[in-house]
Amino acid sequence: TYVVLKVQNLKSSTVDRRGSEPCWEQDFMFEICADGKGFIIELWKKGLLWDTVLGVLWIPLAAVEHATDEGPGSWWTLHSEVIKNGSEIQGTKTPTSHEILLDVYFALPF
């Protein structure tokens, strides 16, 4: 499995990990515009011919706190559907059985 993170026009992904409880311990840092609405996280299962999405999560930027260092993170339930208004993502719905532990924060200057 692997994770894809999309924010504004940026996209990044983790390396593939095997097992029922994969751990990536991977940091992502993006410089983004303040007018952004949020970002999407996708959990994918690598396939022989094509990959399958296991769940998605929309996190509004308004819900992200500011911090100077990493914290313990929070468990988030992944969903199977994306809610859109035209082409703009507004959220996710229909929880799956998959959860992901994330530590999400705006980095403050030291």
Q: How confident is the prediction along the chain (110 residues), in pLDDT tens digits per residue? A: 999 999 988 899 999 999 888 999 888 888 887 667 899 999 999 999 999 999 999 999 888 888 888 889 999 999 999 999 988 889 999 999 999 999 998 887 66
Q: What is the pLDDT of residue 69?
A: 84
pTM of the model: 0.88
Q: What is the pLDDT of residue 110?
A: 63
Q: What is the pLDDT of residue 62?
A: 87
Tell me the two tokens of residue 1.
């499995």
Query: What total of structural domains would you count in the chain?
Result: 1
Q: Longest Cα pair distance anywhere in the chain, in angstroms?
A: 46
Q: What is the pLDDT of residue 34?
A: 67
Q: What is the pLDDT of residue 31?
A: 81
> In this structure, what CATH number is given to the domain that contains residue 9?
2.60.40.150
**CA nearest neighbour of 40 among 70, 84, 75, 72:** 84
Residue type, 104: V
Q: What is the pLDDT of residue 102?
A: 94
Q: Which residues are 91's β-sheet partners? A: 83
Q: What is the pLDDT of residue 8?
A: 86
Three-state SS annotation for the chain: CEEEEEECCEEEECCCCCCCCCCCCCCCCCCCCCCCCEEEEEEEECCCCCCEEEEEEEEEHHHCEEECCCCCCEEEEEEEEEEEECCEEEEEEEEEEEEEEECCEEECCC
- Residue 49 belongs to domain spanning: 2-107
